[in-house]
Each structure stands twice: as C-alpha cells, then as structure tokens.
C-alpha cells in the first residue's frame, strides 16, 4: 500500500526557521552576539514572513550598531498588511 502516492514525501533535511530562532536566543543568552545574529538571519531567510524573526533580527542588528538595517527591518514589519 502506497500511503503518499507514487512519489514519497521528502521532509526538508535543513533545520527549521524555529530552530534558528531558538538558536539565536540561546547564543544571545551567553552573549555570543555574532552567532546570535547569524542564527536569526538564517531564521529570517527560512521564513521571511514571520514578524517575530524580523523583530529579533532588528534587535540583533542594533547590538552590532547596524542601526539603518535594523530600522529597515522594523519598517518591513510595520508595512505588513495582515
């Protein structure tokens, strides 16, 4: 019996956006700002429509004094239509 049709479903083997978000929080909790920023950027790349990830990204950009990029992230959140 084939449960999923002719082609089996293949789960994406990459870590999820939630994984990267949680990883970012973990790195932040031990003051590893560079790794926290990289992790939250991965979360945003995996799920760019998630405003929580963009907010966390804006905050992380502030830690590394990239204020213009942080403000651009906030503007994207505020411009959302939902």
Question: What does 54-78 look like in DSSP terms, one character per residue?
Answer: HHHHHHHHHHTT-HHHHHHHHHHHH
Q: Give the residue from 15, 68, 58 showing the smallest Cα distance to 37.
A: 58
Tell me what pLDDT residue 82 has. 73
Show the low-confidence residues of the chain (pLDDT under 70): 1-10
Q: What pLDDT is recorded for position 63?
A: 93
Angle at 63 between CA 62 and CA 67, to 5 degrees: 20
d(CA 33, CA 57) in angstroms, rounded, equals: 11
Q: What pLDDT is recorded for position 11?
A: 75
């Amino acid at each position: 019996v084939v449960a999923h049709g002719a082609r089996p479903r293949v789960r994406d083997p990459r870590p999820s956006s939630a994984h990267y978000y949680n990883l970012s929080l973990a790195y932040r909790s031990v003051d590893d700002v560079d790794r926290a920023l990289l992790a939250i950027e991965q979360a945003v790349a995996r799920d760019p429509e998630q405003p929580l990830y963009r907010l966390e990204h804006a905050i992380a950009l502030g830690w590394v004094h990239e204020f213009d990029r942080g403000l651009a992230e906030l503007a994207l959140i505020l411009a959302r239509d939902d």
